[in-house]
Amino acid sequence: MSYTTKSEKKTRNMTESENYSMEDFNRVPKIDTHAHVITEGKTMIEEARAKNFKLMVMAVDVVPDYPPLEEQIRFLVKHHREDPDILAFTTAFTLEDWDDPEWSDKVIEKMKKDFENGSLGIKIWKNIGMDKIDKNGVYITLEDPKFDTVFQFIKDRNKVLLSHAGEPKNCWLPLMEMTVNSDRDYFSKNPKFHMYNHPELPSYEDQMTARDNMLKKNMELTFIGAHLATLEWSVDRIATFLDNFPNASVDLAERICHLQVQSEINRTKVRDFIIKYQDRILYGTDFQQLEGVAPAELKAYMNKTWMNDWKYFNTDVMMTVPQLNSEFQGLKLPKIVVDKIYRLNAEKIFPNAWD
């Protein structure tokens, strides 16, 4: 499938020579739209400031790996008030007491308080669809009617819904058939979420269908599909998703390596896809700063990731990354495309977020 029209090719050719270099990294303003600061520590904030980044930091209903939501939100409100030029944030809600008939009303009251404290949206996690069940033993999914008033409230308040729905398609494969090392490493350490071992649970397509059915009921909702909307394995599928849901965007957090896998097969196709959908793609990393993290180690990891990503999008050199076992070529995208992915699209979705 080709994603580039004749007029778009003309525009692309006109700007083809205007590319950023590796030396431009520090001076270009950038936004990482998917990060987690689960501590009062400021290592990530300090490093973002030093490297001309702003951050969208998310609370998420991950228990027990993360502290309770109340504590996460306390951290985020504090950081936002102390560093509003660098850190903006989104909140989350818990599925606790799901079977309570007043669950939706209680969640809306909680969101109202978080929005008043500066939250710009709500992040929902893969536990919806993959983990949590109701009193009848049925898996809770995003298309459940109990979410309708919650999502309507988010839309009415002009906030953003961010969704980590399901897992990479690799999750339903044996470890040795997975396409990237990072998935192989994660699912070997988190067998609970390795769906290849749990064929009795909802399938990959079940997850995607539930998410899409929810969006069909909420077409006007501003939506970000985290992790390339969990369609990371196919730019064709991501394109169809974006075509079907015009108010949706996708972020790149922890899924750039999946584009790189596809680049090995057909670099032009991946490049044309990004240029075609340049207004709908957001840069993100999924960096996490938890209590007790070694500052030097975190900074080294952040910079290695940032520079590998910058090289992939801005140069055409042959390169390697830890997630892949073979070389691939950078995409050398035009400056305007890079600016949109790294900053302008986020500023459009979250206006005045980093004032």
pLDDT digits (tens, 9 = 90+) for 84-142: 999 999 999 999 999 999 999 999 999 999 999 999 999 999 999 999 999 999 999 99
Q: Is 92 helix (H, G, I), strand (E, B) or coil?
A: coil
DSSP E strand boundaries for 154-247 = 160-163, 222-225
Q: Which of 125, 115, 123, 118 is nearest to 156 (CA)?
A: 115
Quickly state the pLDDT bin for 15 (edges 50, 70, 90): very low
Quickly state the pLDDT bin for 21 (edges 50, 70, 90): very high
Question: What residue spans define the domains of the chain?
Answer: 6-349
Q: Which of 150, 57, 40 is nearest to 95 (CA)?
A: 150
End-to-end CA distance of the chain: 41
Is the per-residue pLDDT at 73 higher than 60?
yes
Q: Percent of the chain scored above 70 by pLDDT?
A: 95
Is the per-residue pLDDT at 17 higher than 60?
no
pLDDT in tens, 302-321: 999 999 999 999 999 999 99
Fold for 6-349, please state it: TIM Barrel (3.20.20)
Residue owning tokens 């944030």: 89
- Contact present, 285 and 55 (Cβ < 8 Å): no
pLDDT in tens, 244-274: 999 999 999 999 999 999 999 999 999 999 9
Q: What local confidence, expressed as pLDDT, does residue 181 receive? A: 97
C-alpha 36, offset from chain centre: 11
Residue owning tokens 């308080």: 113
The whole-angstrom separation of Cα 25 and Cα 289 is 22
Which long-range CB contacts under 8 A does 142-146 form with residues at least 24 apart?
142/210, 142/211, 142/213, 142/214, 143/210, 143/213, 143/214, 143/217, 146/98, 146/103, 146/104
- Contact present, 89 and 80 (Cβ < 8 Å): yes
Is the per-residue pLDDT at 10 higher than 80?
no
The DSSP bridge partners found for residue 110 are: none
pTM, 2 dp:
0.94
Please compute Rg for the chain using Cα positions. 20
Q: What local confidence, expressed as pLDDT, does residue 65 receive? A: 83
Quickly state the pLDDT bin for 11 (edges 50, 70, 90): very low
